[in-house]
Amino acid sequence: MRIALLTYSTRPRGSVVHTLALAEALVEAGQQVTVWALGRAGDIAFFRPVQPGMTVRIVPFPEITGEAVGMRILRSIRVLGDAFDPSGYDVVHAQDCISANAVPRCIRTVHHLDEFSTPELAACHERAIVNPVAHVCVSAAVAAQLHAGWGITATVIPNGVDAARFACAAGPGGAAARAVWGARLGRYVLTVGGIEPRKGSLTLLEAYALSRRDMPDLQLAIAGGETLFDYRDYRARWEQRAQELAVEPLVLGPVTHAELPALVAAAGVFAFPSTKEGFGLAAMEALAAGVPLVVSNLPVFREIFTGAARFADGPAQFAAALMAALAEPDGAGTRRAGRALVSRYTWPTTAQRHLDLYRTLT
């Protein structure tokens, strides 16, 4: 099959990570795959090398100083749509609302559902749900939301996980790289996703401050944060609250693809206090590295992580769960449960289920 996968960015956000991993697994399964993306701010390649045999088309998307979010969304749709020619493909599969608006008659993966106040983004979100010819969700919880809100029945195909990459970082061969992070951070709580409302950053900050009462040397490290949206006001509130709480988390920003596994594997506990998620790929990667996991008490997390994570609502519960995870004598039970769960989610299986769906539509 000639398959086009489209994503809005080349940078390491969850749907972009998903797109590349799915594309590579489809290539391994013998398909012809082209990944299309917008190259923002001069990007000419993805955040990591891609597998040979996969075609990549990066569409230049220069920055415009002072451009409002709504105008940037509309320009993103126009630029990608003008560059893309659907005639050479049997399957056109969009991975986000921007790419789903840019191309005709596509399949759409709904990674999670959100609410937007920016009119252009709200309209983009709605069209990207209503217009596609078929839908994929990465969890049953999101599929249920899609059906409840729009009467749409989606095919549920969970993410895969590159478990070996994170398990290796946790093994003897990764000791030196882990030691680098340990020397820099000491004992630390890690989260990945940056500082933004959907990631529950204020909740985690409050929980961290509570945890420091019992463990004063505990550090909080925050990785990631590449986004299209303007969260400056939220970030300012977060920074002000950190000052009030007299804590200084380490904001790492985007971490390279090569460095991320060791950062995850060296953590004492991985925190994922999101208010909205579709699957929780970063949390699954932490389990692959044998790191205890604390997540917010969302239906999607109950679906995915029951038996392998601690669940919490609000800062006090989150702090208690973090401390309980850090207090485990050796964490062996947690590691076994987490890795057993991760073994159920592989990219070859995910790719095959996509191919099964594609064949019903072509």
pLDDT tens per residue across span 176-197: 999 999 999 999 999 999 999 9
Rounded to an integer, the average pLDDT of 344-348 is 97
Class of domain 163-342: alpha beta
Res 114 pLDDT > 70:
yes
pLDDT digits (tens, 9 = 90+) for 117-144: 788 888 999 999 999 999 999 999 999 9
CATH of region 2-160+346-361, choose from 3.40.50.920, 3.20.20.150, 3.40.50.2000, 3.90.1310.10: 3.40.50.2000
More confident of the two residues 204 and 228: 204
Enter the pTM of the model: 0.94
CA 65 to chain CA centroid, nearest Å: 27
Q: Which of 135, 323, 359 is nearest to 212 (CA)?
A: 323
SS (HEC) of 204-255: HHHHHHHHCCCCCCCEEEEECCCCCCCCHHHHHHHHHHHHHHCCCCEEEECC
Average pLDDT, the chain: 94
Give the C-alpha separation, 319 to 335, whole Å.
21
Buried b (16+ CB within 10 A) or exposed e, 229-253: eebeebbebbeeebeeeebebebbe
Q: What percent of the chain has pLDDT over 90?
A: 86
For the chain, the structural domain boundaries read 2-160+346-361, 163-342
Rounded to 5°, the CA angle 313-316-320 comes to: 95
